[in-house]
Chain A
């Protein structure tokens, strides 16, 4: 199967989930991800799998907790306000080491905000968002094909490490239609079996206690250190990024998702104007490509982060580059989308500036 079709981003995620063998999907309506829940309501039932429109995002994530605990490939999706409500359950799932794949089609915030595209949930996505010492793997696709492909990987990574994984998309990616090749899903042969820990399995001999509570002295610390080992392994093995025109670059744009698409066009325009600019696109927001950016900072003096938020990813770029370079910000918020010419103008300003000056667009 390698049909080329025209599909909305939200629906591409849904079809990929079905192809990847998602057995249970639980969702609650919220814009701009509604097409995904609607798509699943049809496809999951066609396939004889589980679909529930839950009474709330809180219920949906806890249904995921239950379905994942009995060994099902499980998924939910929402937008920022709904993801806020799911964070409690995500924390419980991380604590109980349950695999689950979820999607945040980001909109403007804080609060009810608006329904326009945004990347302002970067902190929420990458800092866990819920309580306690845990991590979730965050993929940031930048086109519809990648939404499809990274949904496959999201399920596989969740199962491989017994950890919640997510796609951080935005309203543009979710809503836009693009050509897409419906590649066939092939499950990796080395994924660990769920049999040793899944509940309700008559073939298991001893009763299993599935929990995130560890009350005895030192028990939670030991558990969290075990989680940390897993996080270290993920940081070592799962970082993904894309580099463009870095060889002769004097300044580098760092951008992900929709911002990266605008930034790439801006980069090409700037190149035409003689500016030696390259681009670095993190595809995993956690684990963040720290070593790669750090190495780049050895020869690049100026980075410009382009993001649809007012300086969130820039914090990771600063941390990655350890003060070796100046990190500038091009941020838009609440539905504002970066414009190519504005980015080119800012690149010019940065290259003309001197000393330690940090330049931002607002």
Chain B
């Protein structure tokens, strides 16, 4: 008897990806889609496509998608979820969107404990505009706008969002994972699942940060990018759960 053990999630459209070879967005999109299916949320899910490489997330996700202005996704998510509490809102953002231009919206949505999930793809660079410095660019890492490498004295430090936000009372869950290995991908899925469950249970805001490669703008092959991610990004961006309202360390709204 034949049994299908792997296939395209229903929440994913059968589209060829436009993301660059080795990009982490595809994996992140798919994890979200798998969980939308597993939780049976496709008819009431709304994804937010931010400004950045994932602006065309609608091309891949087979559920409602809205494109928000740069950085404003958490405010748009707030309006949708408050207006239609039976919807399931997935706020998908990159590092520039979430931690630079949209910092205020992020912190205040977290602080209000809004009942949506934020998927934060941190690849330490602006992808769509062609490789400019992000708030999460590492010290010494070169980019189009810090060609000699990021200098803390002039350009500040790479922001650790999970650590920054974990103590806000409205945060139900904050975890950082990486898509560099199959094992880590499965852990990310576990984190997102937790976020989805929190959102369904009305426990508050959940943040899943995904450390992700950008070979094109890092100027590396996909394989080299994964090595660089492991040796550099994971040094600064420690993987783990920083806040879990069910684990007795507070949180929730």
Contact = CB atoms under 8 A, between A and B. Distances in A.
A23 B82 CA distance: 10
Q: Secondary structure at chain B's binding surface: helix, strand, loop or mixed?
A: mixed
Contact of B68 (A23, A65, A71): A65
A75 to B, nearest CB: 12
Contact of B87 (A54, A200, A211): A200
Nearest to B105: A59
A84 to B, nearest CB: 15
B66 interface: yes
A275 interface: no
Interface string B88-131: 11000000000000001101100010000000000000000000
B20 to A, nearest CB: 18
B66 A211 contact: yes
Interface in B40-86: 43-46, 49, 55, 58, 61-69, 72, 75-84, 86
A25 to B, nearest CB: 11
Nearest to A198: B84
A211 B79 contact: no
B28 to A, nearest CB: 19
A210 B84 CA distance: 16
Contacts of A71: 83-84
Contact of B75 (A54, A70, A74, A209): A54
Contacts of A69: 46, 66, 76, 79-80
Contact of A70 (B46, B62, B65): B46
B64 A200 contact: yes
B80 A199 contact: yes
A353 interface: no
Contacts of A89: 69, 72
Given A54-B108, A210-B67, A211-B66, 16 more contacts: A24-B79, A59-B105, A65-B68, A66-B76, A67-B80, A69-B46, A69-B76, A72-B79, A89-B72, A199-B80, A201-B44, A201-B84, A207-B62, A207-B65, A209-B67, A210-B66
Interface of A: 23-24, 26, 50, 52, 54-56, 58-60, 62-72, 74, 88-89, 92, 96, 199-202, 204, 207-213
